[in-house]
Structure 1
Amino acid sequence: MDLRLRRAFSSFPTGVVAVCALRDDETEPIGMAVNSFTSISLEPALVAISVANTSRTWTKLAAASSVGLSVLGHGQEQASRSLSSRDGDRFDGVRWVAQDSGAVHLEDAALWLTCHFEKLVAAGDHTIVLLAIDDVQHFDDIEPLVFHQSRYRSIVA
């Protein structure tokens, strides 16, 4: 069933979102890529992501007071792959900007959201993370990166 569900879920095209913050030493970033992102509410401004309970990165990100969500842009496939890797420097070759709050955003993204954690909800082998939005920066000229059927794709006008 697991493989059938994985294939079925891949039929739904999603964006790719980098979730990043500064590490405890406040000089180096930590982050991961997720494709389980959704808008929740306009008032209050809320979004949600879903993270695997087995994620080693999530346990470190969960301690951050502020996180940056970057909706990746077309051409950022390598950044997504790097942020999804289990080994090595996830930010090697990835251009990023740290905010005063400790949130980290990726350059060339289609959207930046600066958020803080609102609520965590246990959901099977994942945790649903509800995030309150503190700031928004939208980049209209950047097309988003799309993930569909386990492949990166582009939106064609």
Structure 2
Amino acid sequence: MKPIMTTAAFAASVLLLAGCGESDPGGAAEEGNTADEATQEAIDLMDEGKVATETGEEEVVVDAVDNNFKPKYIEVSKGTAVRFVNEGRNIHNVLPVQEGAFEPIEADEFDPEDEDVIVFDEVGEFPYYCSLHGTKTKGMIGGIRVVE
């Protein structure tokens, strides 16, 4: 009877492992997305979220607090300086979803209590994320919409 139990346990293990595999060929893993797809997905998320209107301000502050940017999404006027302040207890970074969209703030430059400023001189949508606490479309994400 022992061989039957061993065979049954092996069969159950195989079935469990088979259930862990990806069966949806249409569901692309994030790493498989092109930059344009990830950027569009991030912009769509920004469009669905609550956008804080900060137009007409010379400078706007976005806090990195633990695993969130606050405010998460903002709309600013062209030429606005956005000051990112690390108010959390952890190291963060601020990376554009679309590489090259703006100069990133790297983790070694953004310890707790550090701050950095990015001036947005071009109209457009600029989604960003912290790669230490999220991905391009999930977790610690945010976005800036720049208008005339």
Do Structure 1 and Structure 2 share a fold, with TM-score over 0.5? no
> Which structure has the larger Rg?
2
> More helix by proportion, 1 or 2?
2
Shorter-chain TM-score tier: under 0.3
Q: TM-score scaled to structure 2, two decimals? A: 0.23
Q: TM-score scaled to structure 1, two decimals? A: 0.22
